Amino acid sequence: MKSCLYLWEPLCKRFIEELTIIKGYFLERIYPVFANIEDEVEKYQKDIWEDFMSTPCPCEEMDIDPSDFAVDCIEAGIEKYQILSVMKYRNLAMWIMCLCQVWEQQLIKFILDEARHCGLKYNDKDVSKGFEFTKKAFELYGIKFESLSCWPGIKELRALVNTLKHSEGDSANKLRKLRPYYFQWEGTDKLEVYGSTLLDDTLNISTNDFINYYNVLVSFWEILPETMCKV
């Protein structure tokens, strides 16, 4: 009897729903927290100034020039904006990585569960290779990732995630070729300037990228046939 992978419709829907929940929570619960950081900074500066001005006779008792404190308020606002900006960036990066890692673990679970149903067991050393293991496993059943219409997006997503995790390296060089825009900043490579991908808001990623990658991963499950047999 030929060994096959069976992607039952309810299972396919469950995988897609897991990804959809991630997308929904990020866009509806997390992203709005950082949607108006300019307004938050303005309020922060205003609160500092009002607190200063409400201090009884601050200039006489503390010998402080209000104009000097106004400069301090501006500097405090700039610092606050920088903190919020990098946290907004890190949250987006984190959720993109989460989306990708959940999908990759779906692949592993699907392959191992199907093997178990057939009484098969993969070598632990092979399984530990993660994505490369699942990629080769699917090829045994006639599914070559490179031939799928969603592959360019998946390839780019994985390069982005590895760049976010490891900063400069092979993945960053691959990503520079796939999406040079991510690195561009006033004619300079932002990763070369900052030297990290998480300590500063280095890569020009956006919520649109997050949504596009979600669509790519959903399309992966949607285009797979229900039955995939060993070739």
| Helix 66-117 with 9-25: angle, nearest 10 deg | 170
| Residues 89-98, mean pLDDT to the nearest whole number | 96
Share of the chain above pLDDT 90, in %: 63
Contact 204, 185 (CB under 8 A): yes
pLDDT exceeds cutoff 70 at 61: no
Helix then strand count (H, E) for the chain reads 10, 4
pLDDT at position 128 over 90? no
Q: Which helix (H) or strand (E) holds 228?
A: strand 227-229
Q: What is the pTM of this model?
A: 0.87
Using an 8 Å Cβ cutoff, are 78 and 48 in contact? no
Per-residue pLDDT of 204-225, as tens digits, reads 999 999 999 999 999 999 999 9
Tens of pLDDT along 13-39?
A: 999 999 999 999 999 999 998 888 777
Residue 144 clears pLDDT 90, i.e. is over it: yes
Domain boundaries, the chain: 8-33+88-226
Rounded CA gap, 18 and 21, in Å? Answer: 5
CA 21, CA 211: separation in Å to the nearest integer? Answer: 12
| Mean of all residue pLDDT scores within the chain | 88
When pLDDT is cut at 50, 70 and 90, the band that residue 123 belongs to is confident
Amino acid (one-letter) located at 118: C
Tokens of 111: 């392959």
Strand partners, 142: none
Average pLDDT of the segment spanning 102-114: 95
pLDDT band, residue 62 (cuts 50/70/90): low
- Beta partners for residue 189, in sequence order: 184
Spatial separation of the C-alpha atoms in residues 182 and 229, rounded to whole Å: 39
pLDDT given for residue 26 in this prediction = 96
Map tokens 């995790």 to a residue: 165
